């Protein structure tokens, strides 16, 4: 097992590994390897390059691009300079990207080659961006990342950083409109890495032989957080530009992947690929899954094919990812009730079920799931009211999920208080979709719900009331929505009704709308 001294920041880990194993592979990306010694030097150069641009500690660094070794290098470099990395979800519609970059007040934007045309179109609207860096080759007047980096010395910058300094800002979909920037500190990330454990559980123990697969997008905590975890612990991190089932299988076969994290929809794509049962998984120790629960039949199929230990994680961006764990011991081939749970609290995490007034409920009673730990975010960027609504004065963070805790401490998620839809691991808020659909001239009223789907967990359905004499079709409404918001948020199906069910105060009764689709299912949220 790799032994490192306790750390206050995640960048401490990079310098420690550079001293202990300078020639060990930190990252493998499309045939390019980076050792821990190179990673330490290159991240120093990035920090110095950012400071040379006139940026200051506390400034935001925006990134629009797909997964790469350069992203993690840039991220750690920015952290060494005391700056805050903001990866932008490239699946968003252009106006949403503009909002995030402007809201973060980012003076520098790093751009992957896939998005250079999009960013050039958006640049006049990016009011705070003064410098654009192309992540691969130079692009017009945008310098190439490597050349820009290598123009600076490899000496460590003298910027004081402690656990309270914000390191990453990830944006979550907004319940009523604009997304919110969740600020995660170095202390949050160190806690995620396992410093709260007296002894790391076996699944989070790492050796110099471990190879970690980073296939989830870095604009999610599952991508950035998992990549951070592997680098923190000194493993070889195999990074895929995109999630691709065939490429994932190639990495299992050729790189000896020992640990991986996938959302259930991604696991399904991999396990049902024609090559899935032809691959040697003998080096795979653990498959980590989360973001949405895994259907029991799919989970049993994955256990059969991969033949490794399985770990379910439950959490959210605001909790720096995982706060509960369903251990490998609770995954049994025949299935069990516990496999439908979200597991038990991680070390250093308190979990509780709260009523509407914030009082703790006893085991078995349903209320809102809440957590308290060093993993709770610092807060939402420039949104103090939203922060206070989410985190109490005594640091209880309300998840927005309804559920209960059993006598043994296992948490069961039953419904979603805040109506959020999770489709393929992506968080989608009905209000945002409703606003997009409502703008169609043929729509008089609309409610959006999540309906069960075998592949994606849930998909978005719009329940629409037509305007009098309107002849609008489902396809027209879907096409309209895709022009307003990211396509993954747009409805997959549309149903027309005469009137939406509402309570006396006018609130849409979503539970009543969902009931026909979820009837007979033990778990009303995916």
Give the mean pLDDT of 31-57. 98
At residue 463 the predicted structure's pLDDT band, cuts being 50, 70 and 90, is very high
In contact, 317 and 170? CB cutoff 8 Å: yes
Q: Given this model, what pLDDT does residue 506 score?
A: 60
The whole-model pTM stands at: 0.84
Q: Given this model, what pLDDT does residue 6 score?
A: 59
Residues contacting 125, CB < 8 A, separation 6+ = 98, 102
At residue 522 the predicted structure's pLDDT band, cuts being 50, 70 and 90, is low
The closest alpha carbon to 261, from 281, 288, 298, 234, belongs to: 288
At residue 159 the predicted structure's pLDDT band, cuts being 50, 70 and 90, is very high
Residue-by-residue DSSP string for 471-485 = ---HHHHHHHHHHHS
Give the separation between CA 489 and CA 430, rounded to whole angstroms: 9
Q: Which two tokens stand for residue 192?
A: 């995620």
At residue 152 the predicted structure's pLDDT band, cuts being 50, 70 and 90, is very high
At residue 523 the predicted structure's pLDDT band, cuts being 50, 70 and 90, is low
Residues contacting 216, CB < 8 A, separation 6+ = 222, 223, 226, 243, 261, 262, 263, 266, 425
User: Please, what sign has the CA dihedral across residues 98, 86, 172, 115?
Assistant: positive
- How distant is the alpha carbon of residue 385 from its chain centre? 23
Give the separation between CA 268 and CA 454, rounded to whole angstroms: 10
pLDDT in tens, 101-134: 999 999 999 999 999 999 999 999 999 999 999 9
Residues contacting 274, CB < 8 A, separation 6+ = none
523 vs 332 pLDDT, higher one: 332
In contact, 415 and 402? CB cutoff 8 Å: yes
Mapped onto helix, strand or coil, the DSSP state of residue 387 is helix
Which homologous superfamily is 11-242 in?
A: ANL, N-terminal domain (3.40.50.12780)
Q: Where are the domains of the chain?
A: 11-242, 348-416, 421-518
The closest alpha carbon to 131, from 66, 49, 57, belongs to: 49
Mapped onto helix, strand or coil, the DSSP state of residue 249 is helix
How buried is 289 (Cβ within 10 angstroms: 0-12 exposed, 13-18 middle, 19+ buried)?
A: buried
The closest alpha carbon to 331, from 349, 304, 350, belongs to: 304
Give the separation between CA 133 and CA 6, rounded to whole angstroms: 34
Give the mean pLDDT of 368-396. 95
pLDDT at 186 over 90: yes
- H-only helix segments in 81-137: 94-104, 116-122
Say which DSSP state 396 is in. Answer: P
At residue 1 the predicted structure's pLDDT band, cuts being 50, 70 and 90, is very low
Sheet harboring 493-496: ordered strands across?
443-453, 457-466, 493-496
Give the mean pLDDT of 28-52. 98
Give the separation between CA 386 and CA 215, rounded to whole angstroms: 31
Q: Which two tokens stand for residue 5?
A: 């001294």
pLDDT at 257 over 50: yes
CATH topology of domain 421-518: GMP Synthetase; Chain A, domain 3 (3.30.300)
Q: Given this model, what pLDDT does residue 310 score?
A: 96
Q: Which two tokens stand for residue 290?
A: 């989360």
Assign residue 101 a region (left: φ > 0; alpha: ψ between -120 and 50; beta: otherwise): alpha
Beta strands in 70-205 (DSSP E): 84-87, 108-111, 131-134, 166-172, 180-185
pLDDT at 516 over 80: yes
Q: Which two tokens stand for residue 143?
A: 């310098």
Which homologous superfamily is 348-416 in?
A: Luciferase; Domain 3 (2.30.38.10)
At residue 526 the predicted structure's pLDDT band, cuts being 50, 70 and 90, is very low
Q: Half-sphere exposure (CA, 13 Å, Cβ side) for 101?
A: 30
The closest alpha carbon to 171, from 126, 106, 247, 228, belongs to: 106
pLDDT in tens, 280-298: 999 999 999 987 667 777 8
C-alpha dihedral over 197, 210, 28, 83, to 10 degrees?
10
How many angstroms separate the Cα of 430 from the Cα of each of 258, 422, 462? 38, 11, 9
> With helix as H, strand as E and coil as C, how does 398-450 read?
EEEEEEEECCCCCEEEEEECCCCEEECCEEECHHHHHHHHHCCCCEEEEEEEE
Neighbour tally for 385: CB within 10 Å: 8
Residues contacting 300, CB < 8 A, separation 6+ = 333, 335
Beta strands in 229-280 (DSSP E): 236-239, 259-262
């Amino acid at each position: 097992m790799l032994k490192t001294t306790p750390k206050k920041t995640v960048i401490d880990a990079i310098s420690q590994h550079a001293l202990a194993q300078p020639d060990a592979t930190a990252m493998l990306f499309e045939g390019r390897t980076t050792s821990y010694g190179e990673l330490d030097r290159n991240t120093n150069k990035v920090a110095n390059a950012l400071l040379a641009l006139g940026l200051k500690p506390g400034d935001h660094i925006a990134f629009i691009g797909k997964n790469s070794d350069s992203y993690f290098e840039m991220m750690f470099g920015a952290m060494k300079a005391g700056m805050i990395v903001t990866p932008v979800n490239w699946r968003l519609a252009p106006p949403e990207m503009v909002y995030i970059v402007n809201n973060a007040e980012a003076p520098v934007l790093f751009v992957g080659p896939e998005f250079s045309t999009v960013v050039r179109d958006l640049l006049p609207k990016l009011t705070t961006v003064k410098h654009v860096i192309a992540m691969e080759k130079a692009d017009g007047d945008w310098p190439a990342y490597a050349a820009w980096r290598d123009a600076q010395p490899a000496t460590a910058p003298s910027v004081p950083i402690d656990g309270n300094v914000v390191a990453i800002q990830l944006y979550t979909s907004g319940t009523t409109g604009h997304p919110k920037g969740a600020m995660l500190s170095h202390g949050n990330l160190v806690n995620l890495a396992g410093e709260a454990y007296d002894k790391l559980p076996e699944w989070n123990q790492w050796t110099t032989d471990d190879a970690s697969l980073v296939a989830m997008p870095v604009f999610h905590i599952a991508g950035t957080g998992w990549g951070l975890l592997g680098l923190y612990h000194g493993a070889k991190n195999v990074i895929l530009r995109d999630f691709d089932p065939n490429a994932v299988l190639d990495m299992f076969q050729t790189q000896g992947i020992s640990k991986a994290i996938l959302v259930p929809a991604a696991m399904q794509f991999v396990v049902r690929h024609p090559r899935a049962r032809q691959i040697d998984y003998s080096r795979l120790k653990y498959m980590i899954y989360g973001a949405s629960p895994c259907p029991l039949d799919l989970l049993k199929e994955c256990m059969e094919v991969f033949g490794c230990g399985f770990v379910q994680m439950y959490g959210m961006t605001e909790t720096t990812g995982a706060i509960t764990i369903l251990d490998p011991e609770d995954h049994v081939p025949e299935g069990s009730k516990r496999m439908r749970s979200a597991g038990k609290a991680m070390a250093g995490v308190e979990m509780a079920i709260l009523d509407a007034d914030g009082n703790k409920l006893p085991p078995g009673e349903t209320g809102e799931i809440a957590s308290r730990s060093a993993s709770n975010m610092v807060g939402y960027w420039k949104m103090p009211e939203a922060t206070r609504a989410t985190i109490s004065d005594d640091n209880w963070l309300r998840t927005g999920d309804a559920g209960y805790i059993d006598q043994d401490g296992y948490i069961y998620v039953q419904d979603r208080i805040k109506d959020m839809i999770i489709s393929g691991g992506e968080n989608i808020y009905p209000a945002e979709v409703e606003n997009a659909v409502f703008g169609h001239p043929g729509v008089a009223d609309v409610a959006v719900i999540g309906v069960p789907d075998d592949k994606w967990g849930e998909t978005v359905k719009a329940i629409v009331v037509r305007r009098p004499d309107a002849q609008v079709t489902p396809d027209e409404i879907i096409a309209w929505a895709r022009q307003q918001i990211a396509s993954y948020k747009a409805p997959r199906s549309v149903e027309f009704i005469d009137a939406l069910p509402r309570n006396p105060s006018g609130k849409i009764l979503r539970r009543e709308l969902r009931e026909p689709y979820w009837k007979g299912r033990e778990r009303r949220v995916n």
